[in-house]
Chain A
């Protein structure tokens, strides 16, 4: 059984679905964050798989950008979560609904 790009795409889709489900279903901000990372990396996987299949570097270039953005996002996001936790003693997003309209 050969591993075709379709497998990679299927794996990426599964990973993305798991990430999206985690984001929507979990309450802990830290876990939601990890779910986002999962979705980003699912996208990265589809990028490199497509790049390899088409024989161009664009997919890998895009992945580097995503990684940089994800790293920056983690820095900011974790700082916010830690600060919120210090003030409210909770990381549950359901209790952080002060910006309700």
Chain B
């Protein structure tokens, strides 16, 4: 093993080791050491990722495969890692953002009775996410995929004393299983077709050996898994509830990293989606539909974290639209900038919640900018970034997606139009959030004294604010850094790109105007605080997500319950138990009937023997001899 192979392997082993140590001795270490251990292992992983990826950054790196061990020799499945620009980008984003969030968590989770376990789970999550992105085949990808799901479950229901948190964790787990079922079937088809699960084998042989029909089937099933993990319509319902977890968890897992796994997976398997245009179009339609749909729900939320949750679903929809349109670089670019500004938004919201002693309802916030100056500044940066105002990072990535969608022409123009509409709504609800939280009249409870968070929390905020502000420079139209960086990973796959500089400029001006319009609409509407117009049945319907959750509860949860009661009652207790009991009753009845034969009188038995002998003899004689 050469140096970079060791480094890439250590990338996973560092947080994994940290997690094991924290699980074993977290309580004994104390908060200071546990927090430091959790943060340092992830920070070291980030440094390793940068060092190992320096070749790619310089444009000279070669993709390397790192075989680990024979995993399932009977099936010829090996466990190994793939270090190429795509996995390197994901590893850098994951470890970088995670390191900052770990640092922030030291302050946020202070005094929690399960402090050590929190960091153990967070480290385990980072290790799992790295397994997911660094896997060199579908088998290990699936292991990481399930491990991040497990960590998500553990961390959503981290405060499991609260019934809502326990229920939210369960919901996330169950909804993800639905998507994962499709994912698993896709893997089976791939293995049945190619006899291998390694990306290199599958992608090389796919064009020749995979028919369009089976490619469509595989990619649609993969999409099913991605839709579950990345909270797209119709499996998005778990993500808003997942906000029951601690805020750093929402920032790391349910905004920046895990939920982007679906986008990453579609980009990684781009070679298959290339063979199935119908599936790719489905990805884009699901994405843009979810983007618009979730954005409208975000407008009506009162809970600051739920606004951000629906916003995350909406932004993930943009990424799906991008990778569905074949704009893999634009999708990964938006994934990266979104990781920065959405993590920042969540951590900033966490600082506000922290300052107000757990208050999450924006109706009881307002006017906080005087009390929380640092938080306000970083939140304004994140707000401008997500709204798409240049030169903030979100502008570059969102505009690249929109410009690419426009450039593809035809029906893709419709998707572009919906994306533009979503941008308007995004700017509106984010302005509403900022306005209701930091400006206007103070509406928080008398006697609560909002205070700025400690440095251990504001420092990561500042770091992420810098990234949200400047993150866009990695891929500006005149310096396509990320495009050149990622190109080798998409070798042989055409990447959709935006059109001419002039077209891009016109579209950019248009989208900035749309964003500005959204901001001004919100400012005009909320200048005098919370509008009375937010009350009413229509608002309530939107706030409840158009009643989709209730519909699921009525159809699937109630239906599942009824099916369970049916199988438990009539089918099991009466049918199956009845059958078993019936056999018992039958044997017993026969026994009861035969009991009188055993009289206890020897002569009865003797008579029986004699009668039997006579009968046998009579039979022999009647046959005329033997």
Contact = CB atoms under 8 A, between A and B. Distances in A.
Contacts of B603: 23-25, 93
Interface in B592-620: 594-603, 606-607, 610
A25 B602 CA distance: 11
Contacts of A101: 594-600
Interface in B98-133: none
Nearest to A98: B600
B596 to A, nearest CB: 7
Contacts of B600: 96-101
Contact of A23 (B597, B598, B599, B606): B606
A100 to B, nearest CB: 3
Interface string A63-101: 000000000000000000000000000000110111111
Contacts of B594: 101
Contacts of B607: 24
B598 A99 contact: yes
A32 interface: yes
A77 B595 CA distance: 27
A94 B603 CA distance: 9
A9 interface: no
Given A20-B610, A24-B607, A24-B610, A32 B597 contact: no
Interface in B556-605: 594-603
What does DSSP make chain B's interface, helix, strand, loop or mixed? helix
Contacts of B602: 32, 93, 96
A100 B610 contact: no
A26 B596 CA distance: 23
A101 B610 CA distance: 21
Contacts of A94: 601
Interface residues of A, number: 13
Interface string B258-292: 00000000000000000000000000000000000
Contacts of B610: 20, 24
Residue of B595, B601, B602, B610 with most chain A CB atoms under a 10 A cut-off: B602
A100 B606 contact: no
Nearest to A97: B600
A6 B614 CA distance: 20
A82 B600 CA distance: 19
Nearest to A21: B610
A98 B597 CA distance: 14
B120 to A, nearest CB: 67
Contacts of A97: 599-601
Contacts of A32: 602
A93 B601 contact: yes
Interface in A18-53: 20, 23-25, 32
A35 B607 CA distance: 14
Contacts of A25: 603
A100 B604 CA distance: 11
Nearest to B601: A97
A99 B597 CA distance: 11
Nearest to A27: B603
A101 B602 CA distance: 13
A88 B168 CA distance: 78
Nearest to B603: A24
Nearest to A23: B606
A19 to B, nearest CB: 11
B466 to A, nearest CB: 93
A43 to B, nearest CB: 12
Nearest to B591: A101
A32 B284 CA distance: 99
Contacts of B596: 101
Contacts of A99: 598, 600
A94 B602 CA distance: 8
A32 B610 CA distance: 14
Contacts of B597: 101
A85 B606 CA distance: 21
A13 B177 CA distance: 85
Contacts of A98: 600
A99 B602 CA distance: 10
A51 B231 CA distance: 98
B494 to A, nearest CB: 88
A77 to B, nearest CB: 12
Interface string B461-486: 00000000000000000000000000
A31 to B, nearest CB: 12
A67 B607 CA distance: 24
B83 to A, nearest CB: 80
A66 B595 CA distance: 34
A32 B602 CA distance: 10
Interface in B11-57: none
Nearest to B602: A93
A3 B540 CA distance: 121
A15 to B, nearest CB: 15
Nearest to A32: B602
Contacts of A24: 603, 606-607, 610
Residue of B597, B598, B601, B607 with most chain A CB atoms under a 10 A cut-off: B601
B17 to A, nearest CB: 72
Nearest to B610: A20
Nearest to A99: B600
A101 B597 CA distance: 7
Contact of B598 (A20, A93, A96, A100): A100
B156 to A, nearest CB: 65
A20 B601 CA distance: 16
Nearest to A26: B603
A100 B600 CA distance: 4
A97 B602 CA distance: 8
A83 B594 CA distance: 31
Interface string B145-174: 000000000000000000000000000000
A20 B609 CA distance: 11
12 contacts: A20-B610, A23-B603, A93-B601, A93-B602, A96-B602, A97-B600, A98-B600, A100-B598, A100-B599, A100-B600, A101-B594, A101-B599
Interface of B: 594-603, 606-607, 610
Interface of A: 20, 23-25, 32, 93-94, 96-101
Given A32-B602, A97-B600, A101-B598, 19 more contacts: A20-B610, A23-B603, A23-B606, A24-B603, A25-B603, A93-B601, A93-B602, A93-B603, A96-B600, A96-B602, A97-B601, A98-B600, A99-B598, A100-B598, A100-B600, A101-B594, A101-B595, A101-B597, A101-B600
The 4 closest A-B pairs by CB, nearest first: A101-B598, A97-B600, A100-B600, A101-B595
